[in-house]
Structures are given as structure tokens and as C-alpha cells.
Amino acid sequence: MSGPADMGSAKPASVPSAAGRDRGHRVRRGFLGTLKLVNGPQTLGRGPIFWSGFVVACLLAGIYPLFADGWTVGNTAYFFTWTFMAMGLSVIWGYAGALSFGQTAFFGLSGYAYGVLTINIGSAYGFTFAALVLAVGLAAVFALSLGYFLFYGRISGVFLGIVTLSVTLVLETFMAQTAGPEWAIGAARLNGFNGMTGMPPLTVPWPGGDIALWPDIPLYYLLLGAMIACYLGLRIVVNSRFGNVLVAIRENPDRAEMLGYDIRRYQLGAFIIGSSLAGLSGVLYTAWGQYITPNSMGLYAAALPIVWVAVGGRSDLTATLIGTLLVLWVFQTLTIYGSQYALVVMGAMLLVTVLFAPRGLIIGVADLGGWLRARLRRGRS
């Protein structure tokens, strides 16, 4: 990881002091105290204007299905399935400063795990949700073992990207060659390049008949709720002592270490959180469309989360979330009108963002707003 020069425009001054303060007098927070952490130094958007906007956005998202047809709602739910992976990458890359290119490895692993579990055991008694938890747990265990080698080997930024990318590409190659009938786990055929199909969607056990969540309005609400919960939960995490230490490590790993933090443990923690969320995305994606292919771990799939998070603004959860939904929507619209140019536009978007708005477009716009306001205030006085 590079030093402070890497984040030239950020505000490093506030960071180590925040970590130091928390360590100085470790306040025991109650439940409400913990909830208050949704507002903190590591997240943009704190004031009443922001939270009113947040409530309005939630309400709009809540009534949206009343004004749209089932297909569109299901499609929006599809966008939601990806946001978990994006927010997880924001924690790893944006907050902890460790660029992982291999989030799709966890995405694919969990997706396949969900498929194998539900095809073999079925969807009765709400087992699909148990499969969800197990598959995400598998991603977490995989992240723990891979992350142990990476972070405890003190792999620095650039290498981390390469190794994680290599892992996901090798997983793709492996899954792509499982076409033969000998590649089956129980009743679940892995099916090589064509991918695995036929797993049940998420199913809620209900007296008088289970409710299968096909891509429609109920699934939309479930994913919307999960997305908001995940967003608020991660805001609490990044504003907690743990999150402050992550930012301190991003800004200057050596200084964080001198202050007495075992940076390897914190980075591993962030990696596990982010990778589990990538796994969650994988399960939800698989359950949404009832299929998963090796392509979901390939080079292009691996590039996509990077694009969403970089374009939106990786160092803030709100910017990441808005950016992800925006880029997904733009990408889909492009695909409809000229599929072959979509990837070119993606690449160009990435290049332009890195060159001209290195902190991301959304944060760039937010910065511009703040600058204008300061300018106006100075003009008045």
C-alpha cells in the first residue's frame, strides 16, 4: 500500500486522531450509541438534508412497484443483487485501501454453493435461506484462508490485485472444464461452460404453501430491505473504531502500525466482510435468475465491480451505492442499444474517472458542491 501521496486530495489529518481518540478512552457504547455511528467522520452525508433525502429515496423506492410492471421491478431487483458486492469492495478498497480484483471469485463460489445445496436438498422449510447463510459462510471461510496468506504475507497493494485476479481467473478456468458427467456434487451437475441451472429461487416457508420469490415485487422488497440494512450497517461499521483504524491504515500503514494496531488483522477483517458481501451477491444473483456460469468469475465480470465502485467514488458508501445503481442502469441501457459498444464505454468511463475525477464522479460532484458553497459564503462576508 502506498503512503499518503496516494490519497493526495483526502484529509489525512483527521484520521489518525480519530483512531487515537477512540483508543484513548474506549467508551462503552450502548445500543443507541452504536446506532449513532451511522453518522461519523468516514461517511459523507450527515445533516438533516441528507437524511430527509434518504427517507424520501426509501419512500420512492417503496412505492415504485405500484407504478411499474412486474418485469421492470424484477429488473430493478436484479440491480439490487449487485450492490452488496459493490459495497463490500468499497470497504476493502475504498476504506481499507487494499485493492482486490477477485471479488467475483467469492461471488461465483457462493453462487455455485447455493446451487449445489438447494438442488440437492430442495427448498422446503425455508432451506433456501439456510443455503444462503451456508454459501455466504463458505465465501467467508475462503476469504479467511486466502486473506491469511495475502495479508499475513504482507502483500502490498498492487500484488494483492494481481493475486486475487489470478485466483478468480483460475476458478473460472476450473469451472469451465467441468462439463463432463463426472463433475457433479450429488444431484447437481456443474455443467462446465454452460453453467448450472435449475436451482429453486429463495422460498419463504408459509402456512398454506411456501412462497417462492421469483423476480417480481416480493423479491424486490426483500432485496430493497436487505440493501438498506446492509448500507446502514456498513455505515456503522466504517464509523466504528474498526472503521477508523481501516482508514488510518489506508492513509498510512506504517503510522497505523507504529500506533500499535495489528494492521494485518484489520485488513483481513475488512477482506472477510467485503468478500462475504460478494458471496451474498452471488447467492442472490443465482437465486434471482436460477443460474450461474463460470463467466461470472471471468475477466469482464471481475472488472465490473471495479468500474461501479471507482466511478461512483470508492471511499464513501453512499457514493458507491448510488454510483453502482447508476452505472448498472447506464450499462443495461447501452447493452440494449448497442451491446458491442457497452464494454468500450465501460473502459472509457473507467479511464476518464481515474484521470479526471480520481475520487469518483459522485464524490467529485459532492466536492464541487461544497467548494461552491464555501465560495458563496466567502463572497457574502
- For residues 140 and 155, which CB has a smaller minimum distance to another protein in the complex? 155
- For residues 347 and 370, which CB has a smaller minimum distance to another protein in the complex? 347
180 binds another protein (CB under 8 A): no
Q: How far is the CB of 316 from another protein (least distance, A)?
A: 17
Q: How far is the CB of 102 from another protein (least distance, A)?
A: 11
292 by DSSP, 3-state: which?
A: strand
- For residues 67 and 356, which CB has a smaller minimum distance to another protein in the complex? 356
- For residues 155 and 230, which CB has a smaller minimum distance to another protein in the complex? 155
Residues facing 184 on adjacent strands: 189
**Taking CB under 8 A as the rule, which mask of x and - marks residues 289-328 in contact with another protein?**
----------xx--x--x---x------------------
From 106-114, 127-135, 157-165, 192-200, span contacting another protein (CB under 8 A) = 157-165
332 binds another protein (CB under 8 A): no
Q: How far is the CB of 263 from another protein (least distance, A)?
A: 14
**Taking CB under 8 A as the rule, which mask of x and - marks residues 55-94 in contact with another protein?**
----------------------------------------
Q: How far is the CB of 34 from another protein (least distance, A)?
A: 32
Q: Are strands 196-197 and 203-204 parallel, antiparallel or unpaired?
A: unpaired
Cα 176 to Cα 170: distance, rounded to the nearest angstrom: 10
- Please give, one letter per residue, the 3-state secondary structure of 229-268: HHHHHHHHHHHCHHHHHHHHHHHCHHHHHHCCCCHHHHHH
Cα 22 to Cα 367: distance, rounded to the nearest angstrom: 27
- Given a contact cutoff of 8 angstroms between Cβ atoms, the answer to whether 330 and 337 are in contact is no
336 binds another protein (CB under 8 A): no
Contacts of 280 (CB under 8 A, 6+ apart): 84, 85, 110, 132, 136, 139
Site for another protein in 342-381 (CB under 8 A): 343-344, 346-351, 354-355, 358
105 binds another protein (CB under 8 A): no
144 binds another protein (CB under 8 A): no
166 binds another protein (CB under 8 A): yes
Number of Cα atoms under 13 Å in the Cβ half of residue 190: 22
The DSSP line for 299-337 is HHHHHHHHHHHHHH-TT-HHHHHHHHHHHHHHHHHHHHH
Q: How far is the CB of 170 from another protein (least distance, A)?
A: 5
Using CA atoms, how far residue 60 sits from 52, 63, 72, 74, in Å, is 12, 5, 15, 16
- For residues 99 and 292, which CB has a smaller minimum distance to another protein in the complex? 99
Q: Which of 51, 71, 125, 174 touches another protein (CB under 8 A)?
A: 174
262 binds another protein (CB under 8 A): no
* 127-152 and 263-289 helices, crossing angle to 10°: 150
From 27-35, 103-111, 125-133, 143-151, span contacting another protein (CB under 8 A) = 143-151
Q: Which of 139, 146, 325, 363 touches another protein (CB under 8 A)?
A: 146
- Given a contact cutoff of 8 angstroms between Cβ atoms, the answer to whether 120 and 130 are in contact is no
Q: How far is the CB of 266 from another protein (least distance, A)?
A: 18
- Given a contact cutoff of 8 angstroms between Cβ atoms, the answer to whether 101 and 162 are in contact is yes
Q: How far is the CB of 229 from another protein (least distance, A)?
A: 29
Q: Which of 17, 173, 332, 333 touches another protein (CB under 8 A)?
A: 173
- Given a contact cutoff of 8 angstroms between Cβ atoms, the answer to whether 278 and 139 are in contact is yes
CB atoms within 10 A of CB 29: 13
Residue 222: which of 126, 324, 318 has the closest Cα?
126
Using CA atoms, how far residue 83 sits from 97, 166, 229, 231, in Å, is 19, 23, 12, 9
- For residues 20 and 153, which CB has a smaller minimum distance to another protein in the complex? 153
Which residues of the chain form contacts with another protein (CB under 8 A)?
Answer: 2, 5-6, 8, 97, 99, 101, 146, 149-150, 152-155, 157-159, 161-163, 165-167, 169-170, 173-174, 177, 299-300, 303, 306, 310, 340-341, 343-344, 346-351, 354-355, 358
